[in-house]
A and B are shown apart, each in its own frame.
Chain A
Amino acid sequence: MRLFDIIVLGGGHAGVEASAIASRFHLKVALITMPNVPIASAPCNPCIGGVGKGQVVKELDALGGVMPIIADKAGIQYRTLNESKGFAVQSTRVQIDKDVYALEAEKYLQEETNVEIVKAKVENISIENDTYRVSTSDGEHFYSKKIILTVGTFLNGRLHTGARVRDGGRDGCESSISLEQIFSQIKKRPLRFKTGTPPRIKIETVDFSKCEEQKSDELTENFHWSHQNLGRNLTQVSCYLTRTNEKTMGFIRENKEKSPMFNGQINAVGARYCPSIEDKAFRYLDKNIHHVFLEPEGHNRDTLYPSGISSSLPEDIQELYVKTIPGLENSSIKTYGYAVEYDVVDTTDLCLSLEHKKFSGLYFAGQVNGTSGYEEAAGQGFVAGVNAAFSILGREEFSISRLDSYIGVMIEDLVSNTRDEPYRLFTARSENRLYVREDNAVLRLFPYRESLMLNLPVDFYNRDFVKSFETLSEILDTEFFHPSECPYRDIPGINKLNKRLNLSELLRQSWLNPVEILELLLNYMGLKYPRAVVRSVAISKKYEGYIGRASGQLEKIRKLDSMKIDWSQLKDSKNISFECKQRILKIKPETFGQLKRIEGIRPATLSVVAGGAL
């Protein structure tokens, strides 16, 4: 019999973050994970970050998370997405060496934390009084008052390749216990979710001369603050772009009845934003050209991940359609694509802390909550880990406002609504996109990290960052100049401004790149500030006016949104309709903002609550 403060079940991206941060509070943490699955493995696309997701990784970095560190260590290609579209929506994406990633993650847990990794298959979980008992197939029993479930797609997982169906969480791995075996009372979504992965192509059989090369961007900065800005741990590689054509889509359309997703073999719902090649073929009948990105999976792997053609068609059809794609005519497939369907919990039964409303001490994070993506999983894992620790330490719930972060947006969206498809972060989900950026992640998350009351290197870095940010920002507000003065007169287009103004106003001018200008000016003034601070200050100044325009409104929203409400009082109110009450009872909203985002809640109910007229 072994006793732990916290047990994390599942060693994926959510589990790693949850166990790592929980162990920082000097608690005894066990991470129980399947024996033949690597820690923090990346079973699908070989990359971390992307639009909206890069922001999450930067947020994790400011919070002291693991993902940004490992992503840098395993990074084999860096890119800045949306580079031409303004600073607010720019995001970092890193292609990773999957093997290095898994190794580094396990090494990190062993060397940097006191998490105990247990590689075993969980057979059963039961509850005795307020203590959970986790039994593994080796016959061992683990006890804890806090359990964090991060079991990903392994919950009742079933894999489909054509008519071939097998149980499993992913190729080559068995599935884990079903949710009923854990607690029959925990409500699942009645719908199962589905995701898929493409066939993997042997590198040496690809003709790259027929594809467009995409090189690693040397100027994209690392995720993690303590890594040298532009330094790389591994040799950088290229990705390649090719496209499907009429023939490709023709083969798929001819074999509709063999696709498990279209012949009724799979009932689960997949994400519309991550369609399989069958989805693309049948939903967009007039479109035959689709991008296919060929992405290396690691230096020591002989396969490419062809992003864009995930499929659950039978092996022979996969062979057929892959060979129609330019560059892949003579390619051979190493492993075939498949679809996986799995159970997800009903996240409206969770609190903002990700703790289950009915089972105290039970937390859920990651794909089991119906999200897709490694970054989404990691973000939830972090929040669940902190909350499990906080509840042991007797501290209040830890939650991050949606106005400050994408992690906050995601968790609040999850607990406020049920969804009919896997949830992925898009920048469109944030109301505050001009403020929730990669460059100012430290500034945004600083208060939340401070509330953990951990005095670690990341905290020293954050404090320095914020201090420098504030002093530099003040200098820019108070330093006035005239456009005719040196060196300002050399700035292109400066004669449009023929009055004295401060440096902040200069950076706001739409035709200037604020980062370049600020670097130049600081150089001239002989002031030295860290690169990341200069960048963040410059971009913040540029958007200050626009954010200000919305901020009056936003401030009101923030105040109102954070207003605590008592749902139990709402259910007795005479002024709220029956249907709204049903929804309120289901979600049990704690703040006005949460209430507001419940789907189908009526304007009249909101005005009743906002006006305090219960």
Chain B
Amino acid sequence: MDLVYSDDPIIACSTNSLSPSAINVVRLSGFQNFAPIEPFLSIKSSQIKPRYAHYCKVIDDSRVLDDVVLVYFPAPKSYNGENILELSVHGNPLLTQNIINLFVEKAGFRIAKPGEFSFRALRNKKLSLSQVEGLDLLLNANNKYALEHGRSFLSGDLYELYLKLQKTLLTFRSSLEILTDFSDDVGEEQAWQNIKNSFRDFSQVVKGLSSKTQSDYSQLIESKITLLGLPNAGKSTIFNSLLKQNRAIVSDIKGTTRDYITEKIKIRDNFYFLVDTAGVRESKNNIEKLGIDQSLSLARNSFFNVLVINPFEWDEGYFKKLKEISFDLIFITHTDREGFSKALAPIEPLLPKIDKIYLKIEASSFSFEQFESFKNLVSKKMESIINKKPLLLDRHVNIINMLDSEVDSYSQLLKEQTDIGILSSEFLILEKTVAELIGIVSPNDVLHHIFNNFCIGK
């Protein structure tokens, strides 16, 4: 996000304003006082009580635009630390737009950029960076896990774990400072013991975090099911028939040009993105290599890979190129064509030993059982990953892995060194990494911690 921002008052509709609904919430943030807003409300600003719901009207030149419910959250006790006014308006898209336009044109508000409310919350230390990331995850979650995971950044397990990381880091740093500045008060032996214990606690939290980063699960944020195979293997037919059964209510993803076809589908409780790599090749002027490369890179970032094979058009060269991809399922098509068994026989031993579903030429004739077993396979994989509670955000995964290896080298150093100057200088490296993850510990925090927990001073 752009760090250079302005402090203008901002306005936006915080609910989905594109389709009609019962209520839309229009949020105004960052105004210094009610002066610019008051002329457009039927209620006097002096009557507005913080955090109370007030019924009033939005008025433009004595014309009533809407009856609304207004709640005022004064700074700093608001979501983002600024003055916030929330108007619950009737959920007509046009009406909502009119109200927003009124405040933009006549009250000096500007339409908020995407994420700007939260950015201000971050800036005003109302949310930590990881909470904002969690919020993003929560709002854009496609599966139950991402939803829970996003929530756990905001206030759940992960938030607790990060707090614990910060707390144990602070305790550890304090123990280093106590040995340096106050060992007369605490006793040298006790001070060393504190260092060892608090480092152990800190490294345990790091190890706990790093166990969640062992594999790259970032594909869970946007879980793709990718169909790979030669032209005419039956990919598109399978794609269409899966869609027919499971097409998500929210339709195709707009706004970007793609060389492949993607549709959102729902399997059990989760949303997936079904990708047909057919388009890759066709749009590339038959530059086969490019096509295959792109299919491969799609498959690499995919959650669930499906190989589609027509035994009558077997190309060993193509198959070899797919070797690095780990497949979850194979569809073998054209079972009803004459000579199928004969065609399949030489190929079958070459195929990976994974689940296979056999389909007729017309793949739309997926049987009910075949659909169920496809869904089961996808869901099973999802469940098994979710059970490990992995971390989904790349940035976090990378930093935690770095921290993990730094903790290992520090642990070695702690065995060899008794020079507290060196120990605390090298500690700065750990501190910097933790700061990248969750924020900065200042020397004042450390001293506060020491004085509040130890009896220091002669």
Question: Which residues in A have some Cβ–Cβ distance to B below 8 Å?
Answer: 45, 51-52, 81-82, 84-89, 271-275, 280, 283-284, 287, 290-291, 293, 307-308, 426-429, 431, 433-434, 510, 543, 546-547, 549-550, 553, 574-578, 599, 602-604, 607-608, 611, 613
Contact = CB atoms under 8 A, between A and B. Distances in A.
B338 interface: no
B125 A273 contact: no
Nearest to A437: B421
A52 B181 contact: yes
A567 to B, nearest CB: 18
B123 interface: yes
A611 B444 CA distance: 26
10 contacts: A52-B181, A85-B183, A85-B420, A86-B422, A272-B457, A273-B451, A284-B455, A291-B458, A543-B422, A549-B425
B416 interface: yes
B324 interface: no
B456 A575 contact: no
Nearest 6 Cβ contacts at the A-B interface: A88-B421, A86-B419, A272-B451, A85-B420, A428-B177, A307-B458
Contact of A602 (B125, B181, B451): B125
Interface stretch (B2-10, B245-253, B370-378): B2-10
B160 interface: no
A575 B422 contact: no
Contacts of B456: 272-273, 275
A305 to B, nearest CB: 10
A430 B385 CA distance: 46
B124 interface: yes
A287 B421 CA distance: 30
Given A275-B457, A280-B455, A607 B7 contact: no
B11 interface: no
Contacts of B425: 88, 433-434, 546-547, 549-550
Contact of B457 (A271, A433, A547, A604): A271
B5 A604 contact: yes
A84 B432 CA distance: 28
A86 B181 CA distance: 13
Contacts of A553: 432
B181 to A, nearest CB: 5
A291 B6 contact: no
Nearest to B174: A428
A549 B182 CA distance: 27
Interface of B: 3-7, 32, 123-125, 177, 179-185, 188, 416-422, 424-426, 428-429, 432, 443-444, 446-447, 451-452, 455-458
A397 B124 CA distance: 35
Contacts of B452: 272
B180 A275 contact: no
A434 B427 CA distance: 12
A613 to B, nearest CB: 5
Nearest to A602: B123
A280 B451 CA distance: 11
Contacts of A280: 455
A287 B182 CA distance: 17
Given A510-B419, A574-B7, 20 more contacts: A51-B181, A86-B422, A89-B180, A89-B421, A272-B456, A275-B455, A275-B457, A283-B455, A426-B447, A427-B180, A427-B181, A428-B177, A433-B424, A433-B425, A510-B417, A546-B422, A550-B428, A577-B123, A578-B7, A611-B4
Nearest to A273: B457
A86 B5 contact: no
Nearest to B76: A579
B123 A86 contact: no
Given A275-B455, A546-B426, A85 B418 contact: yes
A308 B182 CA distance: 13
Contacts of A434: 421-422, 425
A287 B7 CA distance: 51
A428 B455 contact: no
A431 B173 CA distance: 13
Contact of B181 (A426, A550, A578): A426
A427 B424 CA distance: 11
A164 B204 CA distance: 54
B4 A428 contact: no
B443 A608 contact: no
A308 B3 contact: no
A274 B123 contact: no
B195 to A, nearest CB: 11
A510 B416 contact: yes
Contacts of B422: 86, 88, 434, 543, 546
Contacts of B125: 602
Contacts of B419: 85-88, 510
Contacts of B418: 84-86
Contacts of A427: 177, 180-181
Contacts of A283: 455
A434 B180 CA distance: 12
A613 B455 CA distance: 46
A84 B125 CA distance: 41
